[in-house]
Amino acid sequence: MNDAHAIRNPAGLPPGSWLGMLGGGQLGRMAAHAAQQLGYRMAVLDPDLNSPAGAAADEHLCAPYEEPRALQQLAQLCAAVSTEFENVPARVMEKLAAERFVAPSAAALAVCQDRAAEKAHFARSGVPCAPHAVLSTAADCAGVSEALLPGILKTATLGYDGKGQRRVASREQLQAAFAELGGVRCVLEQLLPLAAEISVVLARGRDGAISLLPVQRNWHEDGILATTVAPAAGVSVALCRQAQAHARAIAAAFDYVGVLCIEFFVLEDGRLLANEMAPRPHNSAHHSIDSCSASQFELQVRALAGLPLPEVRQHSAAVMLNLLGDLWFDAEDRQREPDWAAVLAFSGAHLHLYGKAEPRRARKMGHLTLTAATPEAAAALARQAARALGLPCHA
Ligand code: ADP
Ligand code: MG
């Protein structure tokens, strides 16, 4: 296959082809596993010598994301390139796109990297989101509508896992929080009464075909995902269908290619609002590896390689518990190894550890998925496993 052909039409890349990944975290690691299962080879670009994905990939290019020589190497080696890291500069993807097929596109990444652009995109897609205002200056804070208070101030870019956010009850608190966040462009959202949080992960191919994973329900602790349950317990089938329809509309409205996650709020009055999106596989769909006919990582590889995106069937009910670094420390702050044998003794326990050498509090070290024939059995198993490890469990 000559280069020009590969750019225009990487459809059905043959096994043995190289796929490229910007970013070497756990998402890249699980993508490498999925790529290798399908006979592809994966090259990862990440500056960390000990990155989780670098260890799993066929080739680790150890360099900063913007290093021209490394990008050139990646483009030379790989027929198609994706990212597992949403803050990779969109211009890097643009540069790669001049030579290789990239998914998602630089334009789609740019939308997902900016909360203001993201909300504008939800509106364009006909999907409601939280009442909000974009604040660029201290004067904008002074003029903000009273209806948005109490609210949550979020930096427009670079926020994740609850970072870059402040709850504010008054204009004075808003001014102070805006300054505290560095005076950077922010979005102020009305604080909403949430009944539940759910997410939808889908993969969309270049032909517009979409594979949907089951709707999952999520619980956070200190801004970090703690528990995911699929199917989404306590959320009606009608609401789940609506979330999936919204997700389809959002993906189609920017001709998205690749795996996309949309987080939604379910309000106490039953309304469904889009919260934010991620242009990549998402922590809340890790259960799909063990509970579905195709995982989110397999879908990512398929979309990248131009393979069919079939309907996904959930074959087991699942609960996922995130394993944060805190679990590696006892009450006296001494480091320890969690009691894996205790949970691996359970039938239906699937342990995923990301190979990170150093446990740190709040660091995502792995996840544990519990599968069973029914949602009730999966929840009971999850509660047992959580007790054995000393973890919170919302199932
Ligand atoms: P990130 O996940 O990037 O840190 P989010 O916008 O998803 O940022 O916010 C993190 C969490 O904060 C949400 O999952 C939700 O629990 C809570 N939250 C965010 N925005 C609102 C809001 N407008 N009203 C109520 N709770 C919110
Ligand atoms: Mg979020």
Determine the number of helices (DSSP H) and then strands (DSSP E) in the chain. 14, 18
- Residues of the chain where predicted confidence (pLDDT) is lower than 70: 1-11
Distance 223 CA to ligand 1 centre (A): 7
Sketch out the chain's domains with CATH numbers: 3-102 (3.40.50.20), 131-190 (3.30.1490.20), 194-389 (3.30.470.20)
Ligand number with the minimum distance to the CA of 275 = 1
> Does 283 contact ligand 1 (Cβ within 6 A)?
no
pLDDT at 162 (0 to 100): 83
Ligand 1 contact, 192 CB (< 6 A): yes
Q: Could you tell me the pTM of the whole model?
A: 0.96
Dihedral in degrees, nearest 10, Cα atoms 22, 25, 30, 34:
20
* CB of residue 118 inside a 6 A radius of ligand 1: no
- Residue recorded with tokens 């990301």: 354
Among protein residues, the one whose CA lies closest to atom 3 of ligand 1? 160
Q: Is the CB of 164 under 6 A from ligand 1?
A: no
Q: What pLDDT is stored for residue 305 in this prediction?
A: 97
Q: Is the CB of 194 under 6 A from ligand 1?
A: yes
Tell me whether the omega of the peptide bond preceding residue 214 falls within 30 degrees of 0, making it cis.
no
Q: Where are the alpha helices (DSSP H) in the chain?
A: 3-8, 26-37, 52-56, 68-77, 90-97, 106-112, 115-124, 138-142, 171-180, 237-253, 288-291, 296-305, 340-344, 375-389
The pLDDT of residue 10: 54
How far CA 314 is from CA of 27, 69, 199, 243, in Å, comes to 21, 43, 15, 17
Centroid of ligand 2 to alpha carbon of 87 (angstroms): 15
Closest-CA residue to 232 (of 264, 273, 279, 190) = 264
Specify the DSSP element, H or E, that contains 212: strand 210-212
pLDDT the model gives residue 86: 79
Which pLDDT score is estimated for 160?
Answer: 86
- CB of 103 within 8 A of CB of 163? no
Contact between 319 and 382 (Cβ < 8 Å):
yes
Distance 220 CA to ligand 2 centre (A): 9
Task: Give yes or no for residue 83 CB within 6 A of ligand 1.
Answer: no
Identify the residue whose tokens are 């052909």.
5
pLDDT score, position 161: 84
